[in-house]
Copies of this chain bind each other. A is one copy, B any other.
Amino acid sequence: MVLERVKQLASHLTGHSGPPHPFDPLTAKEIEKAVAIVNSEHQGLFYNTVTLWEPRKVEMMAWLADPDHNVRPHRVADVVAIGRGSKVYDGLVDLEEGKIVRWELTEGVQPLITMEDLQIVETVVRKDPGVIEQCRLIGIPPGDMHKVYCDPWTIGYDERFGSKVRLQQALMYYRPHVDDSQYTYPLDFCPIFNADTQEIVHIDVPKVRRPLNQAPPTNFHAEAIKANGGYRTDLKPINITQPEGVSFTVEGRILKWQNWSFHVGFNHREGIVLSNITYNDKGNVRPVFYRISLAEMVVPYGNPEHPHQRKHAFDLGEYGGGYMTNSLALGCDCKGAIHYMDAAFVNRAGESQIIKNAICVHEEDAGILFKHTDFRDDSCTVTRARKLVVSHVFTAANYEYCVYWIFHQDGTIQLEVKLTGILNTYSLNPGESAGPWGTEVYPGVNAHNHQHLFCLRLDPNIDGSANTVYVADAAASDAPLGSAENKYGNAFYAKKTKLETQAGSVSDYDGSTSRTWDMANTNKMNVYSHKPVSYKLVSREVPSLLPKEGSLVWKRAGFARHAVHVTKYNDDQIHPAGRHVPQTSGDPSQGLPAWIAADPDANIDNTDIVLWHTFGLTHFPAPEDYPVMPAEPMIVLLRPRNFFTQNPAMDVPPSYSSTPSQVAAGKRGLSGVIDGMSRLAFGGGREKGGSLDQEV
């Protein structure tokens, strides 16, 4: 065991000894090699993306099944570069052959906006005469332009400008002092920035002007809190320690923990990607998911006043959840024993850049895993749960998204997303009402209604890749009350509807039937229940898309129209709103709707499929969310149903376990694993325990 840890440590410190795993993100060296290869043939490019072109699934499945005899997939870089005149090039570079294998000029698209693209805008805005004039009109003198800030967003889509020129819209703010939250001082106009010429090409000015907010700053930094009564002093520390280390192992990027094994990938766009997830079921390594990720999201805002319809950020497709990811810190973002993984990206100039500690891996205690007491004699087994959390946090301008992929001992995989950060705000005149499309969260600050809609891409591999999806609804029996079949009217069952074609797979949520979607392998029956082995998608935060049918958001974010779509697997279908999202018009819709429309009758029964699930929440802001928002969590569960033949966590050591015969004989049960650190809150040690202690 010690040897194993030393080995891991060594591999962690020295880097991987062998070649990268085919699922591994491109290393810094690979990124630089790809750029060198491109630069040798093409000059004058800005690099937008150099990321892993993932192995084709058929090849990869073959290699995973027998790595010694099957061909190891090549390392290939997926390159997006931009030339002068907003010319976009999509390329593939085979790093093992050292050559470009595809290079295309792609017309009429705009690749995502990088952090560097964002950083440029503020500088330009401050110097633009039009912006300076607009600032002056609402009360900011030209000498104060250094106090003017902007959050540059993609323009989304604006029919006046189309898709050919690369544009950003600058959401404008002001800071009385450099440390003041700018979201208290939104400005009422919106400059549009041409990324190619690096100039402001238009300014949207509202008909009704809203001068600079005159309310005092409201901040949450230390000085502000100290000036307002100081920090509370009544919180005592809670220490979480793992003196013997962690219970997981890491080889390269393959994590193993509690019978789970999976590869942790990361890319600029989706952030964490988990691949080849398997569960060791008593020695039988069973595939569960080939690949899961958050593939897209959209945050439509609900204020119809022009140009707020442009506020509907696709944070993954337009900016990249990986590009925006935070470098995490020990003890700040997670507690206990932490394993970090870094992320390597390309910059505009084609150099590699590292975000240190981009991914956090750690364990947490997770309360009671199971408990049962026999009421006859108080014989009892109680077992505590552990969970493994793989997380990253990304900052999308004002908002923070904390993404937690959680593995449970009972076979459940959980995605938890926490929303925090700061509301996007707009200006409000004194006496003006923010309703019904927003809320005045602080004097002069209008926080618009919005939705956060995430698209979870699930590529199931439930005991193999031939899978089938059923919609499962809790349903009363059709037999009427009083009939022979249902005399007392209590009969109910799980009504399962098989999804058979791509077009027929489109389905909405139904809270009243506790609707779930079962991903099943109909070729393999559970030997006890005689039902297909399956994983169930349990998701309860599934709002309807509120922008109307035919609206701009509805057209651009086709994936968000319905809770679930199922497609036949296709290597090139990763991005449900399209490969290049900024400035898509939605005419026609890219991604998911297009793939389904292209082959509506494609069979999805008992074949390799992908399930796309849109979930999220509708956020009607309130003053409690301001000036910084307490984290609001959302949860999606993937639960094994008829997959195992019994509770797979029964061999987790219990905190305590006694049997009736032990109780009858006055013997203590198994208690060697009771935690010895817990104490009574007010004095005393362990002398005042409960029934279990009394049995001892």
Complex partner residue of A626 from B336, B397, B647, B676, CB under 8 angstroms: B647
Contact (Cβ within 8 A) A647 B661: no
Contact (Cβ within 8 A) B491 A304: yes
Report A332-350 residues with CB < 8 Å from chain B CB. Answer: 332-340
Q: Which chain B positions have C-beta within 8 A of A333? A: 368, 371, 382, 690
Please measure, in the bound complex, the distance between the C-alpha atom of A244 and the C-alpha atom of B650, giving whole angstroms: 35
Contact (Cβ within 8 A) B371 A653: no
Binds B, one of A537-545, A576-584, A596-604: A537-545
Question: Is A44 an interface residue, CB under 8 A from the partner?
Answer: no
A356-B690, A382-B333, A494-B436 given; A624·B651 CB < 8 A:
no
A-B residue pairs in contact (CB < 8 Å), sample of 17: A118-B375, A220-B372, A223-B659, A309-B490, A337-B678, A338-B679, A339-B681, A436-B494, A474-B544, A489-B548, A492-B618, A511-B511, A511-B512, A514-B617, A531-B622, A623-B644, A627-B650
A529-B441, A690-B330 given; A488·B552 CB < 8 A:
yes
Please measure, in the bound complex, the distance between the C-alpha atom of A312 and the C-alpha atom of B690, giving whole angstroms: 31
Complex partner residue of A489 from B9, B149, B449, B554, CB under 8 angstroms: B554
Question: Is A530 an interface residue, CB under 8 A from the partner?
Answer: yes
Question: Is A138 an interface residue, CB under 8 A from the partner?
Answer: no
Question: Is A204 an interface residue, CB under 8 A from the partner?
Answer: no
Binds B, one of A125-133, A162-170, A418-426: A418-426
Most chain B CB within a 10 A radius of its CB, from A398, A509, A513, A646: A646
Q: Which chain B positions have C-beta within 8 A of A64? A: none
A553-B490, A681-B362 given; A229·B651 CB < 8 A:
yes
Contact (Cβ within 8 A) A372 B357: no
Question: Is A674 an interface residue, CB under 8 A from the partner?
Answer: yes
A635 shortest CB reach to chain B, Å: 9
Q: Mark A543-586, 1 if CB is under 8 A from B, else 0.
A: 11011111111100000000000000000000000000000000
Q: Which residue of B lies closest to A509 (CB)?
A: B511
Question: Is A487 an interface residue, CB under 8 A from the partner?
Answer: yes
Q: Which residue of B lies closest to A476 (CB)?
A: B546
Question: Is A202 an interface residue, CB under 8 A from the partner?
Answer: no
How many monomers of this chain does the complex have?
Answer: 2
Contact (Cβ within 8 A) B681 A338: yes
Q: Which residue of B lies closest to A671 (CB)?
A: B332
Contact (Cβ within 8 A) A400 B422: no
Report A585-621 residues with CB < 8 Å from chain B CB. Answer: 617-618, 620
Contact (Cβ within 8 A) A242 B238: yes
Contact (Cβ within 8 A) A309 B488: yes
Question: Is A497 an interface residue, CB under 8 A from the partner?
Answer: no
A229 shortest CB reach to chain B, Å: 7
Report A243-281 residues with CB < 8 Å from chain B CB. Answer: 243-248, 250, 258
A376-B122, A623-B646, A626-B646 given; A330·B679 CB < 8 A:
yes
Q: Mark A393-411, 1 if CB is under 8 A from B, else 0.
A: 1010110101000001111
A373-B395, A493-B437, A624-B641 given; A236·B246 CB < 8 A:
yes
Report A495-531 residues with CB < 8 Å from chain B CB. Answer: 508-514, 526, 528-531
Contact (Cβ within 8 A) B624 A640: yes
Question: How many residues of A are counted as interface, with CB atoms below 8 angstroms from the partner's CB atoms?
Answer: 217
Please measure, in the bound complex, the distance between the C-alpha atom of A530 and the C-alpha atom of B646, giving whole angstroms: 55
Question: Is A442 an interface residue, CB under 8 A from the partner?
Answer: yes
Contact (Cβ within 8 A) B509 A546: no
A421-B372, A494-B620 given; A650·B628 CB < 8 A:
yes
Binds B, one of A69-77, A295-303, A462-470: A295-303
Contact (Cβ within 8 A) A375 B402: no
Contact (Cβ within 8 A) A680 B529: no
Q: Which residue of B lies closest to A398 (CB)?
A: B372
Q: Mark A626-645, 1 if CB is under 8 A from B, else 0.
A: 11111100000001111111
Binds B, one of A16-24, A31-39, A79-87, A321-329: A321-329
Q: Mark A136-152, 1 if CB is under 8 A from B, else 0.
A: 00000000000001000
Contact (Cβ within 8 A) B659 A221: yes
Q: Which chain B positions have C-beta within 8 A of A393? A: 368, 371
Contact (Cβ within 8 A) B449 A493: yes
Q: Which chain B positions have C-beta within 8 A of A529? A: 434, 439-441, 622-623
Complex partner residue of A312 from B329, B361, B490, CB under 8 angstroms: B490
Please measure, in the bound complex, the distance between the C-alpha atom of A242 and the C-alpha atom of B179, giving whole angstroms: 35
Please measure, in the bound complex, the distance between the C-alpha atom of A489 and the C-alpha atom of B328, giving whole angstroms: 39
Please measure, in the bound complex, the distance between the C-alpha atom of A112 and the C-alpha atom of B546, giving whole angstroms: 48
Q: Which chain B positions have C-beta within 8 A of A362? A: 681
Q: Which chain B positions have C-beta within 8 A of A553? A: 488-490
